[in-house]
Amino acid sequence: MMDIATGNNNIIVISKMEGFLVKGIEQKLKENGLNNAFSTLDVKPLASVNEYAKLYILNLNDITDEDRESVIYLKDSASEKDRQIILIGEPLEIEWAADIIPPIQILDTFIRPFDMEKLIKTVSKYMDRVDSEETKKSILIVDDDITYMRTVYGWLKSKYRVGMASSGIQAISWLAKNKADLILLDYQMPVADGPQILSMLKNDATTKDVPVMFLTGQDDRESVMAVMDLKPVDYLLKTIDKASLVKKIDDYFMRLKIEQLTK
């Protein structure tokens, strides 16, 4: 019987079967105040527990190539939510999974038999970090220039939770699964440019109130006026340096906080 994850069950223990080892992990997590839910390694049950997941623990016992689709789904879900995965298994099983799941998404690996106390310490440390991160403001960068986007990500990641999207479609997909407190939106992009994406966001009830700062490489009066006509909360030249960008964003959130306190 699969437990359905709720807002309090943030650790998802995944296995083809809920055997002795898996039940032991679940019980040990619970004893240490780490609420968890179990899911079988299938797309449908995984989808039902994904909403609140902060960490996935994947037991690879009896894994086969027939499970590849489910592991790919898990990998994609973790990537979209910026969550990580712990792998438990034999060396060959872990090697198989690591060919599907990129290293950046793997928090740790445990080869059976493993030290349960070490697993609990790893999970506890990660959950403390995630809970701390969730108090940070969330910013989505939307830019087709991957190099520039990664640069800005590097500037902001220590202070904010940062998501990235290289197109309007990716941005809308990200926003369907994540909350953004601010969007940094490139004004000039192929297929759908900044103004078109902003229009799409404004026409969607779930994103219409998300504030947008435009990123633009044009600083002539005509371009600036065209940007401001769209009523973003600000516009930023792409020549802006790290310190100035961080200050702009900090100042915006501070103004917002003052406005909310004085209402």
Same-domain pairing of 192 and 87: no
Q: By residue range, what is the domain housing residue 186?
A: 138-261
pLDDT of residue 9 exceeding 80? no
**What is the rounded distance in angstroms from the CA atom of residue 163 to the CA atom of residue 171?**
9
Residue 3 lies in a domain: no
Q: Is pLDDT above 80 for 47?
A: yes
Residue of 60, 68, 72, 102 whose CA lies nearest to 84: 102
If asked whether residues 190 and 96 sit together in one domain, one would say no
Banded pLDDT at 227 (limits 50, 70, 90) = low
Burial class (CB in 10 A: 0-12, 13-18, 19+), 112: middle
Kindly tell me if the per-residue pLDDT of 239 is higher than 70.
yes
pLDDT of residue 195: 77
Do residues 184 and 213 lie in contact, with contact meaning Cβ atoms separated by under 8 Å? yes
Q: Give the per-residue pLDDT at 164.
A: 93
Same domain, 152 and 166: yes
Average pLDDT of 13-42? 95
Q: Let me know whether 104 and 31 are in one domain.
A: yes
Average pLDDT over residues 10-34: 95
- Residue 1 counted as domain residue: no
- State how many domains the chain has: 2
| Higher per-residue confidence, 182 vs 128 | 182
- HSE-CB of 32 using CA atoms within 13 angstroms: 21
- pLDDT the model gives residue 61: 94
223 has pLDDT over 70: no
Question: Which of 105, 133, 161 finishes a domain?
Answer: 133
Give me the percent of the chain exceeding a pLDDT of 70: 92
How far is it, in rounded angstroms, from Cα 56 to Cα 3? 14
- Is residue 2 in some structural domain? no
> What's the confidence (pLDDT) of residue 152?
96
Q: What is the side-by-side order of every strand in the sheet holding 106-111?
A: 36-40, 11-15, 55-59, 84-89, 106-111
Residue type, 83: R
Angle at 80 between CA 24 and CA 170, to 5 degrees: 165
What is the C-alpha to C-alpha distance for residues 241 and 256, in angstroms, rounded to an integer? 23
Q: What is the mean pLDDT of residues 65-72?
A: 96
Please state at what angle helix 146-156 crosses helix 242-261, rounded to 10 degrees: 60
